[in-house]
Structure 1
Amino acid sequence: MGGRGMGGWGMALRIAWRDAVRHKVRSVLVLVLVALPVLAVSTGAIIGFTAEVRGVEALDRRLGAAQASLSAGEGAQPVVQMPDPDEGYSTQGEYDDGKAAEQPDVAGILEVLGEEPVSVRTGSGDLWQENGDRVHLELREGDFADPLLAEFVDLVDGRLPASSDEVVVTEALRALGHGIGDELPLTDLGVAPTVVGVVEDAEQIDLEIAYGPEGSLSLTSEPSSVEWFVGGEPVDWDAVLALNERGFVVTSRAVITDPPPDHLVEYEAHEATFEENAEALAVTAMIVAMVLIEIVLLAGPAFAVTARNHTRTLALVAASGGTPRQARRVILAGALVLGLTATAVGTLLSLPLAAALLPFLQRFSSTRFGPFDVPWEWLAVVAAFGLLSAFLAAVVPAWLTSRQDVVAALAGRRSDGAPRLRTPLAGVVVLGIGVACTTFGGLSYHDLGPLLMSGGAVISMLGMILVVPGLVAVVARTAGRLPLPLRYAARDAARHRTRTVPAVAAVAATVAGVVALGIANASDEKESRETHYYMAPVGTGVVTLGYDSWADGRPDWGEVRDAALREAPEADLVEVRGLLSAMDGTIESFWAVAPPRGEDGEEMPLLSESGGLYPSNVLVGDEPALDLTDSERIAMEEVLAEGKVALFTDQGVQVDSVELVRRSYDVEGVGEETSSDPITLPAATVPIADSAQVAAVVPESLAGELGDAVETLGLAVTSPVDRETQTAMERAVRGINPALTVEIERGYQRHPFAAVVLWVLGAVGGLLMLAGTLTATFLSLSDARPDLATVSAVGGSPRTRRAVAASYALVIAMVGAVLGAVVGFVPGIAVSRPLTSGYGPGPFLEIPWALIGAVVVLLPLLSAAIVWLTSRSRLPMVARID
């Protein structure tokens, strides 16, 4: 017939358009199912591109008015970098400890560029409020009145600092009560500059930041990072390479704007990140495939009903000489019409929706978003994705309709043909392959692990879809003893598998994803809970100085005790003595237990893990405040009573002496120094089942052997203390010495995000299940109206119709949920193994039975209840009675 007749797409599209207009409810349903994912993904893409400020777009934030910024890479070692160092840089050649400990020579900047650099030093500090709350600040020292740095801050009120005892602060700090004219008491740094202005940071929002000239915030003597900025002429790639040789990492405006050819870039970023990119690509491909399958399955029943409504029309076309291809085009044209409309609506609505959400989302980000950015190429891909999903959803109904029995269709017999055994058998084979890939990927720790797990999950989903027709048929055959409504619904579902199978598969796919992610999340949570390291009995702790504050002198511990007891009179405070490990300027010193050696001369480790709240690994005393079991404490006290050092071990080691060694390390130098005169003392081991808070305890009888090394480390809080009391105690002791801290072990604290993940999984899974079940159910009821009218004609009550409607929902949801839960266990368990095998006694496995029970039992019942309440009790007659 040619393109203008039945053989072309023109008439098929006209029929599809008229059918979409005539059946508005069904059309809107398909539009929503396809448009919502397009809307969500397109909106997310716009928000993501707007929020992410990188490359050329971020240069003003990173450089201000400068041509380039420089920072130290690995000390004075030469480095290689990408044109944009944010994309990667590393040391060049063999690592050199000596050069790594040095700083690059700043004079090299002037030598290469001919410009004197302007420096900005960044560090941090603590600000204690009058109510005892601690605020952690970011501190920046530099001449922000210099034209190169002026764009980093925008003066809102007051003026910029004019001397080293003045600073400006952000609005967030002013909101805490530190406005113009107030002092900023940075007690841990020993300075309190005066606030003379309020500024906004060019990049950060709602962060507590203080800016001042060099020396105003004492960052020159504190751990901090330095960045140098240069103006003048553009810094080209040759200058970047010259600075790299001197140990600088360079961010150049000219180089990022106009990158050098690839052959001039020595750093191969794609090689360094290949494994990460491969893993991310595998996961992304899996997510895309799963979403595509889910949309196809959710929209499938709607196109199945559409095909059903065209059954007689297409049968007449076939009887008149029409070909199966022409019949398929009518159904596929409906998918094109609805798919194009849905993707256009979803894409266009994403623009105002993203614009409306951005101000709201900005409140939850501390980084300023960029200008409104619409990635049209990505939106085109998303739209094509939506159109493809609509087209694929119509392929199976179109194919089945084109192969229908013309005589049966003209006679009004509407049931599908008998299921073929080879389809579920093929599904079982494909499902087995998917399970094998997923399992092997979870057990493997090589590069193909993520790829195998992702591919296996998709293959399992496809196999599960092929299994559904056979499963539905089995349910129908075993429904003989069920009540009439359930029996009717199960058998009708089997007769009309074209619309039933996609719905069941959609529910199963959703449940499988929820179960798999739920198991992975619960197992990860179990690992965190069971590997939590207790540094003291829960609710107890220690009052002590900060690790780097001992060089400033020791407080009067009696005075500290009295101050703490004034706020917590019921607290038990015990003085703790031991061998101090602390930082003194740039020298880190600590006492260690030298591992004993066996007969073969090899070192024998005593503990797999140790460490606690005390600033020492060796305590002195006959009754130390340690978290031990009764048997462990008795064993320790017996060793101490014998005048020996108690060495804790979980390795089954036996010794009769121990060497206590003091080591020191210069953090700005290289190498480790060991005392040439270790202290040897008699000792015995104390077996413990778990990790130890300290490595050893020296009895009082041997304290004299240690000389002046023994000192008071702090006060052990041996009775439970709540958070409010801890805050009050800390406020009181900081009045004596601001470096004092009150550390209390609170036990494992579940991260709120873990609970949120489970709630989100349950909510999203529930919504998708309800969407798939209710969609398929109401479409089934619409398709089955003649059958239900017949039931009413032979005496069926309105209640029976409601029961049949609810049974449709229950059969679809329950069969899909059970199948999905079974399939979801495999990837869930497989993923949990590598996820929880990082360290410790893993892997861990925990099944979230409450979540699984909710999606497998409660949601099908909820679906049935919704259908029961919303179904019509009576139907209009389908034929006129004369």
Structure 2
Amino acid sequence: MRTWYHSWRAAIRIARRDAWRSKGRSFLVLAMIALPIVGVSAADLTVRSAELSTEQSVSRSLGTADARLTDPGMGGAPVLQSPDGNNYAPAEDYEDQPFPDGDTDLAKALPAGAKALEDRLSQAKLRTAHGLLSTEIRELKATDPMVEGMMPLVGGRLPEKPGEVAATAHFLEESGLRIGSALSARGLDREYTVVGSYELPGALDTNQVNALPGALIDPLDKALVADGMPGLSSDTTLLATAPGGFTWNTVQEMNAKGAVVESRAVALDPPAESEVPLYQKEGWGTWEESTAAKAAALAAVGTVVGLAMLEICLLAGPAFAVGARRSRRQLGLVGANGGDRRHIRAIVLAGGLVIGVAAAVVGTVLGLALTFLLQPVLEDAMGKRFGHFDVRPLELLGIALLAVVTGLLAAIVPAITSSRQSVLASLTGRRGVRRSSRVLPVVGLVAVAVGASIALYGSTMTDQFAIVAGGSAIAELGIVALTPALVGLFGKFGRVLPLSPRLALRDAVRNRGRTAPAVAAVLAAVAGTVAVATYAASDDAQRRADYVAQLPHGAVSVMLPEAGGREAPAVRETVQRLMPVDVRADVDRISVGRASCSLWDDDKDCGYYEVVVPKPNECPLNLVDPARPEEDPAARFTKEERRKLADDWRCKSGRGPGIMTDGGLLVGDEKLLTVLGIDDPQAAAALAAGKPVSFDRRPVDTGGAVSIRLVTDRDAAEKAVNAGKDAPGEIKRLDVHQVTGEPNSYGVDLILPPAAAKAAGMSTVPFGAYYSTDTMPSSEQRQKLDGELDNTGSDVDLVVEEGYVSENSIILLSLTVFAGLITIGAAGIATGLAQADAEADLKTLAAVGAPPRVRRTLSGFQCGVVALMGVVLGSAAGVLPAIGLRLTERRQQHDWYQQALDQGWGPGGVPFVPVVVPWATLAALLVAVPLGAALLAALVTRSRGALARREAS
């Protein structure tokens, strides 16, 4: 008795033998199905391996310690915390009293019998082989058993003496140092020896240096303070062990003493939410991902997987059809020997099953092997070590089943088509009469209409991107369903074409069963590419329009806000020597108080200045009522008044990027105008005559002068400002030349000649310089300059204006290449199928005297026709979602702008949200890709086919 098992067993044997005979076609389909499996399985292994168990996570944070104590900065006041210690709040409400502030004595919070180890972190600039590098400094006795697992040793040993340090491997690589090198810090003459390297498993890209407690941070802090520079700030935590560990009750007892605790015992056995007082506090709770968010994430993943499977099926389906065409005589023999339609379908479906299983095995094995071999590369890319190589068989089995399902789905249409063919047609090679489906085009038209309507509604009536994306996806699927009918419309162009392309087009139209899937595959790939490319080009145009240059193109500026500008002359000369400088304009800044003060120094001996804006020129939206200084000034106006004031010249935001000094004031001469590209003879003449020049009319009073207030008493100034009054200080009034026309001054609003500053009795200190260049500085020049400036030991703010640099060019190129490869691959499959179908026609052409090159030419045009049809339809389908998304963004940004106007300020004018079609990308797809596909197909096709012979009767 024959059962379905025996039928499928025979079908699988036939399919396996056929796949082995047609190795090229089988490998192509296997590769198409296996590649996504490789990627998904590798991603699954990477994600699972990167996930840490609770024990592993705690070990990286605590080593072998039982807990880590952290100071929340509340002066020892009782706190409430979450079990992991990441969230905390005061235990009491401080609505009518000052909020607690100050340090907490962590040692007093420890329970009796506990042992503690201090872990202190700070940040400083260390000298390297290249210059200076901002580095995290850690003082922790790393040889203590409590630290085991936190800082695994890579080479050498851990520090054992005050003059020794260890460094992370990443720091040694960045700094150019190695074990045995001498290490010093900026501001400290003492040198330390690097005796070892280690890594932080959870942060491999961290630049960190470890020293013994008290060996580096305190000496460096004292040296910096003695040199007049800001000292170091540091954070100190305690690693602790105690008999019995730190239970949740122990943690709460320590919370009552003002300490926040990360406990190993609590992490391994967390309390219930009802036992966490913080979660019972009003306004607090646990924030987990909502069901809707999870459903949306699953829907997104499902959509991506579904589209990937659809793409593979569209590409692999014609390839299975090729096999069915080449095996039609074999399938006919099955029918002649008593096999019915289900046996024919089983044989073709078995081909999909065989290829799918092979692709599943190959893809999964390759995914495992690649992830294992590339583990160090993946860890470096993620910046953390794997917990362990985590292989989850059920997940990998599910991923592998996708390959099997995809193979079966891709073989369904060829199986049905082959089973419908009569035995006589299969044995004689006749294809019979094929009729196109009448239902599919109707379904496609409805889907296109519904999808386009949804996308139009989403882009014009709502701000929801999901509606536009969903409508566009429905419309694209509708176009895919319309593909057979659209292929038929292309046939009308055949009458104007020469012989070979006319034959190719007619063949494609007559055999839509093999042409339509390939065209649909190209359509899907090109539509996605065009959609992303259009959106990227539009976004790029918006970013280019919004880009604010800091200087004219190719210009250079260098500023030194610290140490009273004492290093400025040396820095100016360094830039002059290493850059292709044309014009150099030195600039100074006004100094109030001690000359050695930095620009940001808030010491009581360091004052500051203000460029005074006259009351009539101040924006009413910013005027504080002295009687009610806490009130928002804009609240005094109606919505209509705020909209009107937003367009007032007094309330418009400043032009340019802004500079460090108050009021955009620099002390300089007419050379600064040349570097800034401002061609104004009157302004140049005014500066040469010692008269200040203003590019902003707000600080200029009715008498044509500006006032500069010199503030020496910071405490009195702060009290006055808090009361809504002007800060006390001497005011210097200077006549200025007001520049008309509002040229782009790149944030420089007021230029004060040195002679005018001296005449007004204002002290100045060197600040930096501006440079125009003959040519754009090269990357090598920049690197050399950065190294030289690092060696000066100064905090230098260097700007080299390179202009807007597009970040999308590589994206557009990658998309074009991707779409081109998909297009050529799909067109090549369709061409192979066409050659299998048209073998008899080609032999007939040869018999009537057609030259051998006709075979090659016809093959090329067949491939080009499929590619061209797919690219044209895909380009049309891809523009729709991009336009819809951009229109939605335009509505959204205009709404934000209107809300800003309602509040009384306009963020830089009406938003510019253009829709730009990437014509270069479209041209490459419409011209280069079909032409390349045609040429490639023509080159790989033989001019002469096999000799015809009579079939055995």
The two structures share one fold, judged by TM-score above 0.5: yes
Alignment pair present for 1:822 and 2:876:
yes
DSSP 3-state at the match of 2:944? coil
Does structure 1 retain, via aligned residues, the 8 Å contact 2:315–2:517?
yes
1:741 matched to 2:756? The reply is: no
1:426·1:466 contact (CA, 8 Å) conserved in 2? yes
Tell me the equivalent position of 1:336.
353
- Aligned positions of 1:645-660 closer than 5 A: 646-648=694-696
Q: Aligned partners of 1:41 and 1:263: how far apart in 2?
A: 40
CA separation of 1:643 and 1:560: change in aligned 2, threshold 3 A:
closer
Q: Is the aligned partner of 1:430 residue 2:447?
A: yes
Residues 528 and 16 of structure 1: CA distance in aligned 2, closer, same or farther (over 3 Å): same
Distance 2:335 2:783 in 1: 83
Q: 2: CA distance between counterparts of 1:850 and 1:145?
A: 61
- SS of the residue corresponding to residue 230 of structure 1 reads strand
What is the SS of the residue equivalent to 2:516? helix
Is 1:855 matched with 2:853? no
Q: What is the DSSP-based 3-state SS (H/G/I as helix, E as strand, rest coil) of the residue aligned with 2:505?
A: helix
* Alpha-carbon distance in 1 for matches of 2:456, 2:580: 58
Decide whether the 8 Å contact of 2:886 with 2:914 is kept in 1. yes
- CA contact under 8 A between 1:43 and 1:353: conserved in structure 2? yes
Amino acid at match of 1:743: L
> Is contact 2:309-2:406 (8 Å) kept?
yes
- Matched with 1:602 is 621
Q: State the shift of 1:573 in Å.
A: 4.0
Q: 1:760 to 1:567 in 2, by over 3 A?
A: closer
What pairs with 1:194-343 in structure 2 (closer than 5 Å)? 194-203=192-201, 204-205=203-204, 208-215=207-214, 216-217=216-217, 221-232=231-242, 233-237=244-248, 251-261=262-272, 266=279, 270=287, 283-308=300-325, 328-343=345-360
Distance 2:947 2:26 in 1: 24
Deviations along 1:755-811, whole A, 9 cap, x unmatched? 443443333333322222222221332233233333333333321111221122111
Q: CA deviation at 1:862?
A: 1.9
Letter in 2 for 1:355: F
Q: Are 1:67 and 1:230, in contact at CA under 8 Å, matched by a contact in 2?
A: yes
**CA, structure 1 residues 521+116, in 2 after alignment: closer, same or farther (shift >3 Å)?**
farther
Q: Displacement of 1:535 after TM fit?
A: 2.2
What SS does structure 2 have at the residue aligned with 1:153? coil
- TM-score by length of structure 2 reads 0.77
Structure 1 residue 483 and structure 2 residue 498: aligned? yes
User: Where does residue 225 of structure 2 map in the other structure?
Assistant: none
Task: Write out aligned runs for 1:59-458 (5 A).
Answer: 59-71=58-70, 102=101, 105-107=104-106, 110=109, 115=114, 117-129=116-128, 133-155=131-153, 159-162=157-160, 164-171=162-169, 176=175, 178-179=177-178, 182-187=181-186, 189-190=187-188, 192-203=190-201, 204-205=203-204, 208-215=207-214, 216-217=216-217, 221-232=231-242, 233-237=244-248, 251-261=262-272, 266=279, 270=287, 283-308=300-325, 328-362=345-379, 366-401=383-418, 413-414=430-431, 417-438=434-455, 448-449=464-465, 451-458=466-473
- Paired AA for residue 200 in structure 1: Y
2:943 to 870, 873, 876: 873
- SS state of the match for residue 394, structure 1? helix
8 A Cα contact 1:13 1:333, kept in partner: no
User: What are the superposed Cα offsets for residues 215-253 of structure 1, whole Å, 9 maximum, x if unpaired?
Assistant: 404586425555443333444455566777888765443
User: SS at the partner of 1:426?
Assistant: helix
Equivalenced residue count is 865
> Once superposed, what is the RMSD of the aligned Cα atoms?
4.8
Distance of aligned partners of 1:567 and 1:496 in 2 relative to their CA distance in 1, 3 Å threshold: closer
Assess, with a 3 A threshold, how the Cα gap between structure 1 residues 367 and 869 changes in structure 2: closer, same or farther. same
Structure 2, unpaired ranges of 5+ = 222-230, 592-597, 623-649, 894-906
Instruction: Say which SS state the counterpart of residue 823 (structure 2) adopts.
Output: helix
Counterparts of 1:354-753 in structure 2 under 5 Å?
354-362=371-379, 366-401=383-418, 413-414=430-431, 417-438=434-455, 448-449=464-465, 451-545=466-560, 547=561, 549-550=562-563, 553-555=564-566, 572-579=583-590, 582-584=599-601, 593=611, 601-603=620-622, 604-612=650-658, 614-616=660-662, 617-621=664-668, 623=670, 625=672, 628=676, 630=678, 634=682, 646-648=694-696, 676-677=727-728, 679=731, 681=733, 688=742, 690=744, 692-698=746-752, 703=757, 708=762, 710-719=764-773, 722=777, 738-741=793-796, 743-748=798-803, 750=805
Tell me, in whole angstroms, the C-alpha distance in 1 between the residues paired with 2:96 and 2:373: 53
Instruction: State the distance in 2 between where 1:824 and 1:606 align.
Output: 40
- Which shifted more, 521-530 or 397-406? 397-406
Q: How has the CA–CA distance of structure 1 residues 174 and 384 changed in structure 2, closer, same or farther, with 3 Å as cutoff?
A: closer
In 2, the alpha carbon distance for the partners of 1:660 and 1:208 equals: 44
Report the Cα distance in structure 2 between the residues aligned to 1:605 and 1:145, rounded to whole angstroms: 61
Which moved further from structure 2: 236-245 or 34-43? 236-245
Are residues 292 and 245 of structure 1, via their aligned partners in 2, closer, same or farther at CA, if it must alter by over 3 Å? Answer: farther
Q: CA deviation at 1:292?
A: 1.6
| Residues 17-62 of structure 1 deviation map (CA, whole Å, 9 limit, x = unaligned) | 3133124324443322212221232123223433455654333222
Which letter does structure 2 place at the counterpart of 1:183?
A: A
Q: 3-state SS of the aligned residue for 2:798?
A: strand
**AA at the equivalent of 1:397:** P
Percentage of identical aligned residues: 29
Shift of 1:264: 5.5
Cα shift readout 1:239-271 (whole Å, capped 9, x = no counterpart): 566777888765443343334446667365655
What is the identity, as a one-letter code, of the residue corresponding to 1:555?
R
Contact 1:124–1:136 (CA under 8 A) maintained in structure 2:
yes
More divergent stretch after superposition (294-303 vs 563-572): 563-572
How many Å apart are 1:559 and its aligned residue?
A: 5.9
Q: 624-633 vs 634-643, which deviates more?
A: 634-643
* Closer/same/farther in 2, CA of residues 125 and 279 from structure 1, 3 Å limit: farther
Unpaired segments ≥5 residues, structure 1: none
Match of residue 20 from structure 1: 16
Contact 1:416 1:497 in 2 (8 A): no
SS of the residue corresponding to residue 728 of structure 2 reads: coil
Q: Name the CA distance, whole Å, in 1 between partners of 2:309 and 2:913.
A: 32
Find the aligned partners of 2:179 and 2:878 in 1 and give their Cα distance: 59
SS of 1:143's equivalent?
coil
Quick one: distance in 1 between partners of 2:530 and 2:496? 31
Partners in 2 of 1:835 and 1:613 — Cα distance?
32
Q: Residue 773 of structure 1 contacts residue 812 of structure 1 at CA under 8 Å; is this kept in 2?
A: yes
Cα distance in 2 between the residues matched to 1:644 and 1:535: 22
State the alpha-carbon separation in 1 of the partners of residues 739 and 90 from structure 2: 45
| Cα gap change, 1:702 to 1:413, in 2 (>3 Å) | same
Q: Is the 8 A contact 1:652 1:687 kept in 2?
A: no
Q: Take 1:618 and 1:657, find their aligned partners in 2: how far apart are those partners?
A: 14
Which one-letter code corresponds to 1:676 in the other structure?
A
Judged with a 3 Å threshold, the aligned counterparts in structure 2 of structure 1 residues 870 and 50 are, in CA distance, closer, same or farther, namely same
SS of aligned partner of 1:748: coil
Q: 1:515-565: CA deviations, max 9, x gaps?
A: 2223333444444444333222334334432x4x33xx5417556656665
CA distance in 1, matches of 2:681, 2:300: 50
Distance 1:543 1:795, change over 3 A: closer
SS in 2 for 1:120: strand
What's the secondary structure of 2:239's corresponding residue?
A: strand
Note the C-alpha offset of 1:301.
Answer: 0.8
Matched residues in 2 for 1:672 and 1:276: separation? 47
Instruction: Kindly state the Cα deviation for residue 300 of structure 1 after the two structures are TM-superposed.
Output: 1.1
